[in-house]
Structure 1
Amino acid sequence: MSAFNKDADWLDWHPSPSKPKFVVPNGAVDAHCHVFGPGAEFPFAPQRKYTPCDASKKQLWALRDYLGFSRNVVVQATCHGADNRALVDALLASNGLARGVATVSEDVTDTELDALHQAGVRGVRFNFVKRLVDALPFDSLKRIAARIKELNWHIVIYFEGQELPELYDFFTSLPTTVVVDHMGRPDVTKPLDGPEFSLFLKLMRENENFWSKVSCPERISVAGPSKHYVDVIPFARTVVEQFSQRVLWGTDWPHPNMKTHMPDDGQLVDIIPLIAPTTELQQKLLISNPMRLYWPEQSIKS
């Protein structure tokens, strides 16, 4: 029995996702997913903005195998704050098939950073979505960035499209590889060539240290699952085709804080050939790029 109560309006992950029609290539990486708790073993952060369902490492590995993936990148979610114990537990149990993105505070010690690295952490996440976190000052984030650069880690940034103008200069000052979550959550009701998404494309084009995940259509789409998130596809395909060496894809399982619908993970996989329509692009998106970023010692040049 869990020692907490899940938010009443927060949906549980899909209990029986469909088997994807698209067969992912051998060695494919789900480069954005999470573990939550179990809450009785790994308590959630007191300052969290939501309380999720349990989503264990064993359930994540089972989904990985069912969908046909080989590896995972597990991203620390805001509900666990800077307590990375659930993340580390999953990485240590993965037999080298998972890497991690942690959340750390400015007072993290070198010993703690080294332990995270040994467990398989290769990046830190900076979250700028105001409804999910209380913003940290830029100076503090810059000090964290300078320290993790020494480990050759990267920074993952999560923000929403309308916030990019005020964050642009800070983002481009970061000294590491930077990975943008979910294309910066563009407003897909606005034109593909409009000023908002054009600024994101400029960020990618003019800063070769920037990568992007082309994931989470369920969070971005207005059309929704019944129309196969069709309104997101042109945005994601544009990013994949223009920046094929710097894109990643992930399920986002167990889809934190979803309140309108819970996506079918099999349906999400079936969107991949629509945004990466060639075998070459699929190879880069699912294998070459994530291996280069998270398992460089095992990667081969695409």
Structure 2
Amino acid sequence: MLTRRSMMLASIAAGVTMNSSNAFSKAAQPATAVNFDVPPGACDCHTHIHGDPEKFPFYAGRVYTPELASPEEMSALHKALKIERVVIVTPSIYGPDNSSTLFGMTARGATARGVAVIDDKTSESELDAMQKAGFRGIRLNLATGGVNDPNVGRQRFSAAVERMKARGWHVQLFTSLAMITAIKELVAASPVPVVFDHFGGAEAALGVGQPGFADLVELVKSGKAYVKVSGAYRASKRGPDYEDAAPLAQALIAANAERIVWGTDWPHPDSVTPAGKKISDVTPLFQIDDGRLLNQLAVWAPDAAVRKRILVDNPARLYGFA
């Protein structure tokens, strides 16, 4: 278990300065052992690093401020889960600054890949450098930013695809089923892979018949989109096992297991600043048992060969692991 002392020493070794007791991360670690054989080369396809804000300043336009989460804590998480590879995604709190993600990737080495956030000011030379460092896609976060206008979503998605098509990176979207329906034909025609975060924004309580879910399933079935069966606690409120998310996961896997990847969404940020709090006030991380979360994959995909596709083969293809 990481102690305050071990974390401080690791941070000093990494060149990170933490200024007060409030700066120490409280990211969750697994409390439950994994109950199936995790195949070699398994990948957690959705994580974030929240670095020391003195070194990695938060974006002025963010909508929440999380507790910190270090590369050392992430490594401890994956050691417990027997996960070898990781994809680190730049969260909205950094805007188009990918430094904290790169910090985490560098700490992890060859077993890490990154997904960046960019804007119009991001140059091709910067993208070249990111590609060399292991970035393989860009993320459009339409959910946290509250983008609900289909016209805005279509424009942003089209611009992202145009930017990425020569490079061959994928475009990842955190959005809603309604937006997926609105951009469905654009996704189907995309020359680059498209990846939807967190069950495509589906709500477990509404089941597989909810509006837009059939469009998501169709895109997966046709091979035109990947879906991350990640952050089940975002789709479901029925913890700790999120049983009502199972029909969503099973429908997506049945549609096309070669287009499904899995992720924790560690360190589980709460992207909603509580009423009465300022955006600059620290919002605690969700305390999710990732061992229990990973065990649900064996419920969703009882066949070990299918789990290997989800955990190993699909991420290797999508993110370019050797």
Assess same fold via TM > 0.5: yes
Distance 1:166 1:286, change over 3 A: same
Is the CA contact (8 Å cut-off) linking 1:4 and 1:39 kept in structure 2?
no
Distance 1:19 1:249, change over 3 A: same
1:8-27 aligned within 5 A: 12-15=26-29, 17-27=31-41
Q: Which amino acid aligns with 2:174?
A: Y
Shift in Å, 1:34: 0.8
Give the SS at the match of 2:108: coil
Question: Are positions 1:286 and 2:300 aligned together?
Answer: no
Shift in Å, 1:131: 4.7
Give the SS at the match of 1:54: coil
Question: Are positions 1:76 and 2:90 aligned together?
Answer: yes
Distance 1:3 1:84, change over 3 A: farther
Question: Are positions 1:156 and 2:163 aligned together?
Answer: no
Question: Are positions 1:111 and 2:125 aligned together?
Answer: yes
Task: Tell me, in whole angstroms, the C-alpha distance in 2 between the residues paired with 1:132 and 1:224.
Answer: 25
Deviates more, 1:134-143 or 1:214-223: 134-143
TM-score (norm 2): 0.82
The equivalent residue for 1:224 is 239
TM-score (norm 1): 0.87
Deviation digits for residues 116-165 of structure 1 (CA, Å, limit 9, x no counterpart): 00110000001111556798664454333222222211011111224433
Distance 1:119 1:223, change over 3 A: same
The equivalent residue for 1:248 is 261
Distance 1:65 1:51, change over 3 A: same
Q: Which amino acid aligns with 1:223?
A: R
The equivalent residue for 1:197 is 213
The equivalent residue for 1:263 is 288
In structure 1, runs of 5+ residues without a counterpart are: none
Give the SS at the match of 1:157: strand
Task: Tell me, in whole angstroms, the C-alpha distance in 2 between the residues paired with 1:257 and 1:295.
Answer: 30
| Root mean square deviation of aligned Cα | 2.5
The equivalent residue for 1:93 is 107
Give the SS at the match of 1:223: coil
Deviates more, 1:145-154 or 1:98-107: 145-154
Give the SS at the match of 1:41: coil
Is the CA contact (8 Å cut-off) linking 2:48 and 2:90 kept in structure 1?
yes
Distance 1:82 1:216, change over 3 A: same
Task: Tell me, in whole angstroms, the C-alpha distance in 1 between the residues paired with 2:156 and 2:245.
Answer: 34
Q: Which amino acid aligns with 1:262?
A: Q
Give the SS at the match of 1:73: strand
Shift in Å, 1:218: 0.7
Q: Which amino acid aligns with 2:93?
A: C
Deviation digits for residues 258-291 of structure 1 (CA, Å, limit 9, x no counterpart): 6795211111111110111101101100001101
Task: Tell me, in whole angstroms, the C-alpha distance in 1 between the residues paired with 2:175 and 2:20.
Answer: 31
In structure 2, runs of 5+ residues without a counterpart are: 1-17, 272-283
Distance 1:286 1:16, change over 3 A: closer
Shift in Å, 1:189: 2.1
* Percent sequence identity over aligned pairs: 31
Give the SS at the match of 1:87: helix
Task: Tell me, in whole angstroms, the C-alpha distance in 2 between the residues paired with 1:169 and 1:161.
Answer: 14
Question: Are positions 1:233 and 2:246 aligned together?
Answer: yes
Deviates more, 1:94-103 or 1:155-164: 155-164
Shift in Å, 1:3: 8.3
Task: Tell me, in whole angstroms, the C-alpha distance in 2 between the residues paired with 1:246 and 1:189.
Answer: 23
